Chains A and B, each alone.
Chain A
């Protein structure tokens, strides 16, 4: 999540869900936590019981709105306008937390003279490269002013870091290559020595740029763009302001209502700016809760299922990339001279040692050349775009259902139809497994050449492993039972696939096979594992995932642990070295397995400490609130008694507190880096954002591809032009995938006048495989429906409970009409616009089937993370049904009763639903 990384340093939720009970106010925006994370939502509710004010800003009045104190409806895709308005409100009304902002953010930093803001260029930043539809941030002078003597006043002494080309690696470099062949250029010059103006008066200091940039986001403008009233906006603003400061904190929670936009990263950036200005970062009950989805989606980004990053957010080296040719270049390019990322070389070398073991030596660059290079964009959208055009031969699909849940699912299915072979590992025969026979929009099976191999997968309870959830908490789960029949865990599948491949290539001397051959691949159980009931597991060949976790944690290779006879486990990433004496599979997770037999992810100890530090293990280093140094004032005292978390204990000469300090423990608050300091030594005792090169929270962040400051642009499909910057309707760096299967209604058209968004229901899960094969859930939400307002229904003659059709340039579906006052028309730019809401849980496979909202959505992508825009697109709606689309369930309703009779019990006493009962 570069939106957070660019502002604070790490791309993850900053606080933990239980901490929301400590908030005085929570702004939910682009999140529907009560429906999507109902279990975690317990904590906001607890906060509310204690008196917190909950606010929901959303196009739809949801089950969460119902329990919030205030709901404000805004049109989909107008979030930057709303948040920008809040930033402007805080600045113009002088409601920002002066001490905090001055000490902990880059508000005083002076920006390069050549930089031009959207205010100067009518909606664009300087440095736009027309040819590639992207910014060249270097040419645009987005960087900090170069340190010249006699510039503005500077805070602290002057340092001279060794390398000029510092770059923020938290914007993983690989992302930069998405879509454009050009490597991303770095705007940074000398970050740590950039001139600053603590009076914040310099016209080019961040604060002044910020003020000018957001000046046009007045309550009236917000109202015009978002469709809410100015008073309504002001009420939210006032609540945030009065609930921030020394004594009080406000938390902002978001999810897909922010991310699934072509401006998603910038929406999150705006929230980051707001929270920095209000002084809510690093503090209890504050922060930004990125509410993530899939059980281990955070883990998936940490341990790099993203094609362009290696475990621990190290960039994936690329083909044709001179800077990544050899290890020294890679390190030079990827590290930062100051801040925590100065340790970059230790992370990558330890990773290579973990992967290639003894074969990785200083002489062969630790096997760096064996690491596969990315040669293109392998993000889902771009990849399936290629597949749909016939550019891909075979595909492994493990635990994903793009044929049902991918944006523009029709295009995804067209891609699958173009494959020669497809391997689907899943619990159920999903749309992506039966697309060749059950897709009502596809040619007959005889015309589809894809050979589909369906591999039955084991369920979570049938395998061990870990999940890293939304608050970076790694939690281990043990295996409860063996999977039935031929079902196997994904780990089993890939472990054994790896073994076979190694066998296949054994003895090869081809250099390109050496990576595979040298890969350490020895996770066999020492003895056949046992199930909780003591019996031996039936499954052969399952890997021991605790061994994998130990590899992830890391070892000191030059030291044998007498207890195990194996290399010593490291206790945390501070032990890592870049000389090849340590191995570590993912540096951020280091410490999760600090000693033999102590799997901290498996710990479930409750204590008096409300933070519950012994319940699982949070990365990094079991810190639960990131940047928690900021919970104390510059002198190291808690901002207030009510909101204390960590503080400087001058007697112990150490940071102490409830949470593990996210700071060097013994660095005193008054520490000033000496001249020329590097690494962590260059971070002052008052700079809490230690993974930023200057240790500061970045109000202005040049590390993002669509601009150093957020700007409101309309979604790619919108019924409106950009009211704030009429010349630039949509994000100029947006990525499109033109093609016959992916038509876009670019300009506001009369053909598609209605705004649509997609959302989740508590009762179903994603594209549905995990819920639409379950009768208990299906009875709760049995059919695809669309939510629409009374006004729109009346206009189109749509009857509640009747049928309606929804059309976009990609496809059309039918749905039952849920006419409700929970949706209301918006008055935007003086004209009425209607919005509908579509749950995206139905498609053509399962026990219940129905129209698939993703047959309507488009393949368009945000420039930073290739996120699609399923939260805002345009459509047309009509009363009635589609013709010739009768769908039939592909699975029979669950067999009932599911249980055998209770033994030793007379027939007359058998509970209902047991076989053999009654008549």
Chain B
């Protein structure tokens, strides 16, 4: 049995005829890839969706309880489900999933992964409480104070759980990621945008017109706002993009992302009906996934000249 290393080096090059045995190491990527793609793109999406939904619901509910209490009570259980799915993905992505709890033997602020795990773990408790109490409230047992307390307690870890992911991906030695100064800014910002969008859908489903009105506006502003960190992130990664993709590819993906943002913007501007909101939000989520997927993939992609040598 040959136990080859799991994370295959993205840049191991085939011998190039012109160089003969004189291939060397100059043009190879030095670093090893962590093997974070696929699952991690979904994780980044779900993480944003869960935390964003919770934060959006909590902030809205605390700011305007009258308008949002109804959707919020639905939002927390939904956020919990999203979080659980995300946690499963995180565990599955480990080399030894049965050792997930080893993360909890130390608290290391120097490690975004540690910070994130602790935030997620702590956050899962008030979220579970808030979700459970919301469901109980539907069933008639109303512990409103306790529920609000859980929501308030969840704010900080929830925010932390949303904020660590980008830093985890940007503070390492991976090509591209290591230059992505705005990855965290974009992801956290995008999380709230997505949260707002999810809340909007829930409101639409529940026909909460006031909430819909407020959230439509917030959505539009946030969507436009989100273009700023995305643009900054794009600027961070210009060089690596040039190494990885042809101009055509860059244009096509850029256009796709832009369209993915413009369509929901247009839809929400034009119409507040359930259908258009749902379609808009689906587009937004798809767009968010696309952005995450592209950026998560960067270190795992071989540079252009290498691929041409294949």
Contacts and interface: CB of A to CB of B under 8 A. Distances in A.
**A/B contact in complex, CB under 8 angstroms:** yes
Interface of A: 790, 793, 799-802, 818-822, 893, 895-896, 908, 913, 918-919
A818 B21 contact: yes
Contacts of A801: 14-15, 17
B17 A820 contact: no
A802 B22 CA distance: 15
Contacts of A896: 1-3
B1 A820 contact: no
Nearest to A785: B21
B22 A799 contact: no
Contacts of A822: 21
A913 B1 CA distance: 11
A130 to B, nearest CB: 49
Contact of B15 (A800, A918, A919): A800
11 contacts: A790-B20, A793-B20, A799-B17, A800-B20, A801-B14, A801-B17, A820-B20, A820-B21, A820-B22, A893-B2, A919-B98
B26 interface: no
Contacts of A793: 20
A919 B96 contact: yes
Closest 9 CB pairs of A and B: A801-B15, A819-B20, A820-B21, A800-B20, A799-B17, A896-B1, A800-B17, A820-B20, A818-B21
A820 B16 CA distance: 12
B19 interface: yes
A800 B16 CA distance: 7
A800 B19 contact: yes
Nearest to A822: B21
Nearest to B15: A801
B246 to A, nearest CB: 27
Nearest to A798: B17
A786 to B, nearest CB: 12
A793 B17 CA distance: 10
Contacts of B16: 800
B6 to A, nearest CB: 12
Nearest to A817: B20
Contacts of B17: 799-802, 819
A793 B14 CA distance: 18
Contacts of A820: 20-22
A639 to B, nearest CB: 46
Interface residues of B, number: 14
B21 A819 contact: yes
Contacts, number: 35
A787 to B, nearest CB: 8
Nearest to A790: B20
B186 to A, nearest CB: 36
A893 B3 CA distance: 12
Interface of B: 1-3, 14-17, 19-22, 96, 98-99
B1 A800 contact: no
Interface of B (DSSP majority class): loop
Contacts of A919: 96, 98
Nearest to B14: A801
B16 to A, nearest CB: 8
A819 B19 CA distance: 8
B96 A821 contact: no
Contacts of B1: 893, 895-896
B14 to A, nearest CB: 8
Nearest to B97: A919
Contact of A821 (B3, B15, B22): B22
Contacts of A908: 99
Given A800-B17, A820-B22, 5 more contacts: A790-B20, A800-B20, A801-B17, A896-B2, A919-B98
B125 to A, nearest CB: 27
A895 B1 CA distance: 7
B96 A918 contact: yes
Contacts of B2: 893, 896
Contacts of A918: 96
A893 B4 CA distance: 14
B50 to A, nearest CB: 28
Nearest to B21: A820
Max chain B CB contacts within 10 Å: which of A793, A801, A919? A801
A587 B22 CA distance: 53
B295 to A, nearest CB: 31
Q: Considering residues A790, A800, A818, A913, which has the most beta carbons from chain B within 10 angstroms of its beta carbon?
A: A800
B156 to A, nearest CB: 34
A919 B16 CA distance: 40
A919 B95 CA distance: 10
A801 B96 CA distance: 38
Nearest to A799: B17
Nearest to B2: A893
Contacts of A893: 1-2
Contacts of A818: 20-21
Nearest to A802: B17
A800 B98 CA distance: 46
A910 to B, nearest CB: 12
Contacts of B99: 908
Contacts of B96: 918-919
A800 B3 contact: no
A802 B17 CA distance: 9
Contacts of B19: 800
Nearest to A893: B2
A896 B15 CA distance: 29
B110 to A, nearest CB: 25
Nearest to A894: B1
B22 to A, nearest CB: 7
Nearest to B99: A908
Nearest to A787: B21
Contacts of B98: 919
B259 to A, nearest CB: 44
A660 B21 CA distance: 49
A918 to B, nearest CB: 6
B102 to A, nearest CB: 10
Contacts of A800: 15-17, 19-21
Contacts of B22: 820-821
A891 to B, nearest CB: 15
Nearest to A816: B15
A554 to B, nearest CB: 54
Nearest to B3: A896
A913 B3 CA distance: 9
A790 B17 CA distance: 10
A827 B2 CA distance: 46
B72 to A, nearest CB: 41
B106 to A, nearest CB: 17
B124 to A, nearest CB: 25
A896 B20 CA distance: 34
A224 to B, nearest CB: 29
Contacts of A819: 17, 20-21
A512 B286 CA distance: 97
Contacts of A895: 1
Nearest to A919: B96
Contacts of B3: 896, 913
A915 to B, nearest CB: 12
Contacts of B14: 801
B105 to A, nearest CB: 13
Contacts of B21: 800, 818-820, 822
A793 B1 CA distance: 36
B249 to A, nearest CB: 29
B93 to A, nearest CB: 15
B23 to A, nearest CB: 9
Contacts of A790: 20
Contacts of A799: 17
B92 to A, nearest CB: 13
A880 to B, nearest CB: 15
Nearest to B16: A800
A475 B80 CA distance: 74
Nearest to A895: B1
A625 B14 CA distance: 51
B20 to A, nearest CB: 4
A404 B21 CA distance: 27
